[in-house]
Amino acid sequence: MSTVTRPPWRQRLSRWDVKFSPYLYISPFFILFAIVGLYPLLFTAWVSVHDWHLIGGQGDFVGMANFADVLQQPRFYNALRNTFSIFLLSSIPQIITALFVAWMLDANLRAKTFWRMGVLLPYVVAPVAVSLIFSKLFADQSGLINTLLTQIGISPIGWHADSLAAHVAIATMVNFRWTGYNTLIFLAAMQAVPRELYEAAVVDGANRINQFFSVTLPSLRPTMIFVVITSTIGGLQIFDEPRMYDTLGQGGADRQWQTLTMYLYELGWGPQRSFGRASAVAWLLFLIIIVIGMINFWLTSRISKSEGRKTKRKEVV
């Protein structure tokens, strides 16, 4: 009768290495995220239900009073409206322009590397520098844009006085910085599309426009989902561009371009500072982003399922 001997310690160590090493490799990211991401998020939730002071720290427990107070303030809804207005004016043209530029860069151009590096240069420029330059371009009296408009007989626009004009100017800054970044993401996805699909489309008589809508766009669906979600998260958290749009940094005299993050900053560090209410705004913004992200995911899932059903029907036919 043979006895079963235990494996040597080296064999046991190798088994543990195979079993646990993948978790050790990815653990630095999750540890760092827990320290700089998850912990501040949970701590902000704790602050939002207390009367928190700058010097004294934690005060009395107030429950949902900070949330109720914020939701009763007209400035919160003004900041929410401004945030969504700037987000829509920037994200939609930005994604469309990035798709078109990526499509052009995917063609047989001369000096491809030069043009592909060139579209990323605005992303390298500091947000403060971009905001200062564009605030001068969109100045109410001496700006370059109004000077060009007067040359063609159009009255100057109050880029800082009018809400919609201010939103357009800020959205232009955002598009200037982030269009090239999204362009390279789309370009990388376009280059991963199998060239056999384009060759088959050419055999079927499709021109470049038809190839773009019938081959390129369907292949870019996962990438578009990623870009839309990241643009949504970044667009709803916009701060640098509207903060630097004027010298005061308050979002205008009537807060006509004050975003939610600027309103949060004002609550936390303004004359009537309240860390509890500022934390409540932060959590409301977090919940809004989660809801919009879920809506985006639901819409893209519906579109993907409908496209899959159409493909199956075509294959059956």
Identify the weakest region by mean pLDDT among 6-15, 21-30, 180-189, 201-210: 6-15
Are residues 151 and 43 part of one domain? no
The predicted structure's pLDDT at residue 294: 84
CA dist., res. 89 & res. 83, Å (int): 10
Classify each residue of 131-155 as buried b or exposed e, where b means 16 or more C-beta atoms within 10 Å of its C-beta.
Answer: beebbebbbeeebebbeeeeeeeee
279 neighbors 58 (Cβ within 8 angstroms): no
Residue that wins the pLDDT comparison between 1 and 254: 254
Q: Does residue 56 form part of some domain?
A: no
Q: Does residue 53 form part of some domain?
A: no
Which position has the token pair 């914020």?
70
Are residues 162 and 13 part of one domain? no
Cα angle 60-61-62, degrees, rounded to a multiple of 5: 110
Q: Does residue 209 form part of some domain?
A: yes
CA dist., res. 134 & res. 138, Å (int): 6
Q: Is the pLDDT of residue 204 over 70?
A: yes
Question: Can you tell me the mean pLDDT for 196-205?
Answer: 84
**Per-residue pLDDT band at 1 (split at 50, 70, 90):** very low
Q: Does residue 59 form part of some domain?
A: no
Are residues 72 and 40 part of one domain? no
275 neighbors 52 (Cβ within 8 angstroms): yes
Q: Burial, 235: exposed, middle or buried (Cβ in 10 Å; 0-12, 13-18, 19+)? A: buried
pLDDT digits (tens, 9 = 90+) for 59-118: 788 889 999 999 999 999 999 999 999 999 998 899 999 999 998 888 877 777 788 888
pLDDT digits (tens, 9 = 90+) for 136-193: 888 887 788 888 888 888 888 888 888 999 999 999 999 998 999 999 999 999 988 8
Range of the domain at 98: 68-316
Query: Is residue 50 helix, strand or coil?
Result: strand
- DSSP-derived secondary structure letter, 61: B
Are residues 272 and 132 part of one domain? yes
Are residues 150 and 197 part of one domain? yes
For the chain, the domain total comes to: 2
67 neighbors 48 (Cβ within 8 angstroms): yes
CATH of the domain at 155: 1.10.3720.10
